[in-house]
Structure 1
Amino acid sequence: MLALSAEGILPKVDYAIFADTGWEPKAVYTHLDRLEKEIATPAGIPILRVSSGNIRNDALDPDHRFASMPLYILNQDGKQGMTRRQCTGQYKIKPIKKKVRELLGYPYPQRIPNGIFVEQWVGISTDEFHRAKDADVRYMRNRHPLIDLNWSRTDATRYLDSIGLESTPKSSCLGCPFHGNAQWRHIRDTSPAEWQDVVEFDAAIRAGNARANASGNPLLGQAFLHRSRVPLDQAPIDHVTAAEQAARQHEPPDSEDADEVEQGVVDGCSPWACRGEADAELVQDDFGLTS
């Protein structure tokens, strides 16, 4: 959308906002720098980088309240679950809303008068039009330009290729549990330092939230980054496990769930297109506690 605006295909925006979790792959920060230098700055569009902290450091800090990642849980009784996804709200949506309020001239806790709002563009394509929703606050009004253009994800990719941005990386935390096996392999095979980072983080969160453990509320099970619920450096990211194959036998060959094992969650961690909560019976009520 930034490139479309800079080229005049879409109206010129006042600002572009990047919510930084503090733990994006190096390739994402490099790409963002390139966008700013080659596209945004020449077009006179400021890129504002906002943050609520470093999600990796916060998760491992016993003195810091942590908004949980959707970790895979193996309980003591063998049952599987997931921790509730709170990270998108804390590390992406919250800092974006804070910046929008500042741009409007009404920082929290000031009340924003009726009729004062920003038009916010959300990059949802026709493939995921069901995720196109109105904003949940009156001072933001969502618009979905890619849907207005009738663009699919393929159309967007083709456009990026045409302007030399074919290497655009997917923005998500380096250690996001929603990665598919292809993404985990890519990190392992192309960036040894980042792979070591996520392997160490995976081991560090095995017992759950550092703050919950410090306060005497340990996780009643074990937490993992990979859906197989084994340590990441031992996870079957090069092949489909027997359990995964058995699950696939109950799904159509082209099912989205089966494809997620390899490619990850398509929607990823877009601030305004969360995939939503996992099934209620599988979700832990809190990162540090099991139900």
Structure 2
Amino acid sequence: MTTQHHQNSPHPTKPPTIQALSMGAGVQSSALLLMSAQGLLPKLDYAAFADTGWERPETYAALDRLENEVAKPAGIEIVRLSAGDIRRDALDPNSRFSTMPMFIKNRDGSKGMLRRQCTSTYKIKILLAEARRRLGAEVFDDGRIGRVKRSQHLNMWVGISSDEFHRAKDSGVKYAVNTFPLLELGLTRADTQAYLDSHGFAAVSKSACVGCPYTSNAGWRNLRDNHPEQWNQAVEFDHAIREGSARANANGRPLLGQAFLHPSLQPLDSASIDAPPKRRHLRLVGADEADNWEDGDPDGCSPWACRSGRPETPPGSSEVAA
């Protein structure tokens, strides 16, 4: 595997001695773990899963299986990291809360969206802190992890496939060099899913919080029909965040509008999430998100690969109206 360096990467005199994986237990990162375990890619030193405390049941189940059936037999450590519980933090006026990308109904009736800060707080920051610890940075009594010596760095594998090239981003720091093995191998998401299928890992879903606003209608139906406990949590959460985060309200900074988990700006338990009639479903150019939310956000949620505006169209493809 050829290491891919980006603009913010260091110019080391020797290659990094640590190979790490940003593990989300979704299709791409699961494929990378399996490829490493089978020797198709270099051996990983560890795979880090950043737990928001409110991941989907399928994600936890997939992670457990990957750890027991793939990582442990191959001698790859899976480390589970946490910066807190995103649901609890949002509802607790005494907890700091990083904004989720909630849909907003402004006072004038127009639609808006809150900035996504949750991925940075609950995933990227703790992944980078673990990277510094692995590189020998000082760990203080309060749990904070210090700086890394200038010459130290590791490779952070990120699961981005060739059809999602636009999502590949630098880490933003020199001690963790983001690399994209699936891009280097020219593998698409379909290729990685086929690879997982052939090894008995067909049921791998996108990693995201139970209450992620980017959940598709199909995802909400799955939660409602198959995981009633988590569905009830999401419904209760949706009602609770209508005026914004508890801490902001407690500090006298209420939301100038109303927040919702569904782009229709309707309460989750009354939003139209049932399957549309069977027909060819294509995203309309410029169409309202609520009208085309059967598949939701195609990018999912992943460190260094968050959606920013509408996904770009890969070369050679086009969007057409139904």
TM-score (ref. length: structure 1) = 0.87
Deviates more, 1:186-195 or 1:147-156: 186-195
Matched, 1:238 2:274: yes
Contact (CA 8 Å) 1:180, 1:260: kept in 2 or not?
no
Q: What is the deviation of 1:133?
A: 2.7
Q: What is the deviation of 1:26?
A: 1.5
Contact (CA 8 Å) 2:104, 2:113: kept in 1 or not?
yes
- AA aligned to 1:41 is K
Matched, 1:210 2:246: yes
Q: What is the deviation of 1:217?
A: 1.6
Aligned length: 269
Q: What is the deviation of 1:257?
A: 6.6
Match among 248, 260, 263 for residue 295 of structure 2: 263
Matched, 1:272 2:304: yes
RMSD across aligned positions (CA): 2.1
- AA aligned to 1:185 is R
In the TM superposition, structure 1's runs of 4+ consecutive aligned residues that sit over 3 Å from their partners are 107-111, 247-251, 256-260
Q: What is the deviation of 1:12?
A: 0.6
Gaps of at least 5 residues in structure 1 are 279-291
Q: What is the deviation of 1:258?
A: 8.6
User: What is residue 52 of structure 1 aligned with on the other side?
Assistant: 83
- AA aligned to 2:148 is I
- AA aligned to 1:215 is N
SS at match of 2:262: coil
Q: Does the C-alpha gap of structure 1 residues 221 and 114 become closer, same or farther in structure 2, counting only changes over 3 Å?
A: same
Gaps of at least 5 residues in structure 2 are 1-31, 139-143, 311-322
Q: Could you tell me the percent identity over the aligned residues?
A: 54
User: What is residue 171 of structure 1 aligned with on the other side?
Assistant: 207
Q: Does the C-alpha gap of structure 1 residues 257 and 149 become closer, same or farther in structure 2, counting only changes over 3 Å?
A: farther
User: What is residue 283 of structure 1 aligned with on the other side?
Assistant: none
- AA aligned to 2:86 is I
Matched, 1:195 2:195: no
For the residues of structure 1 that align with 2:201 and 2:118, how far apart are their CA atoms?
A: 28
Contact (CA 8 Å) 1:175, 1:225: kept in 2 or not?
yes
Q: What is the deviation of 1:221?
A: 1.4
Answer 1 or 2: which has greater helix percent: 1
Q: Does the C-alpha gap of structure 1 residues 136 and 261 become closer, same or farther in structure 2, counting only changes over 3 Å?
A: same
Q: What is the deviation of 1:277?
A: 5.7
Q: What is the deviation of 1:210?
A: 0.3
Contact (CA 8 Å) 2:133, 2:145: kept in 1 or not?
no
Contact (CA 8 Å) 1:127, 1:152: kept in 2 or not?
yes
For the residues of structure 2 that align with 1:239 and 1:33, how far apart are their CA atoms?
A: 31
For the residues of structure 1 that align with 2:177 and 2:95, how far apart are their CA atoms?
A: 33
SS at match of 2:80: strand
